[in-house]
Structure 1
Amino acid sequence: MPKLWNETIESHRQAVREATMDAAAAVVAESGLAAVTMSKIAERSGIGRATLYKYFPDVDAILTAWHERQIAGHLHHLAEVRDHTDGPGARLAAVLEAYAQILAHHHTGAIAAGLHRGDHVARAQQHLHEFVRDLLTDAAETGEGEVRADATTDELTWYVLHAVAAAEGLDSPAAVHRLVTIILAGLRPQR
């Protein structure tokens, strides 16, 4: 097949996948995870059920693909925050604030519990751990007193990731900011 034809087919396939994931997310938001069916996704997306089954074997596969897309978007956002912030200490603070805001605004209780399983989540958690560890390492190496030296970077990474998870229970940007301020204070050496 000519290159243009292949590109057209691939872009069509990607559009169908995206529309399917968007429709599934809309059904979840409106009716909850248990209400998602292939029929509802087909109706919402305007794509026939038979076509959906060509792309995804079942609802679980659609929701997993959607969740992978969400996680990738969050990780990309955190990388952009890092890349657009000057100074290791400021980068660490900005990324933690952005991550905490994501957790506060995208926490969906039972929905998240149902989706936060599988290899894609384990890979994302490993990536996030390495990402935060690298930020902490950079901040520690500047010698500007941003990161305490009485714990390993790995220990501090676990502290940060567990502490920032508390943002899931917060309901305002101000509360999230206060949480991040407390986390950062815990990273600094005691004087």
Structure 2
Amino acid sequence: MYLVPDLDDDDDPDFDETFDPDAQTLTPRQCVVVARVATELADAVFADAHLLGNRPVQPGSGCAVLADLPECTWTQDATWRRTMARSFDDLSADAAAGLDPEPRCTGEEMALRLIIGRARTAMISDRFVEELTHLPAHKNDDDWDGPLDYLFQDHDVLTLFWAEPISDGVNLDPEDWFTPFEPELARDEDRGFRT
């Protein structure tokens, strides 16, 4: 008979205190849809950045994604817009790797809100049905409200759509949108843009 020592979680060298098996995450099908939608949105923003250059976004200009951002961003330059497009690409890469696309900066928070809104519509319309058939169905496949709760630290970025945004929000000025919330979680600064 072998005696198994009674280890507390703190004594177990393989115990990962950050892992919570009951924590909500995107389902595999949601990850696929989020990755695809995020890439489509990045494509659109890169195209609009190229088309507009440094000219401001105008309502009805056909720049669907850039025009969906708060008006305070409409006068940003082409480099800012390309950085915004990269935010969509970064979140797409997270989701394509099966990871929750947790925003690391304000730009990614805004990008993820747009992604989730369009992903919800895409899932309902069965746009990606062929790509999803090989993945098991999950009871949360159609739950797009949950990710709005557990993927975001707060909802301050939404106040930019108000006449008077909150004054104490973190990195709400468009110039600060790509400043990481936590420096240790910053993405690789040398990753560049699409070629």
Report the TM-score range of the alignment, normalised by the length of the smaller protein: under 0.3
TM-score (norm 2): 0.27
Between the two structures, name the one with larger relative contact order (CA 8 Å, sep ≥ 6): 2
Larger Rg: 1
Higher helix share: 1
TM-score (norm 1): 0.27
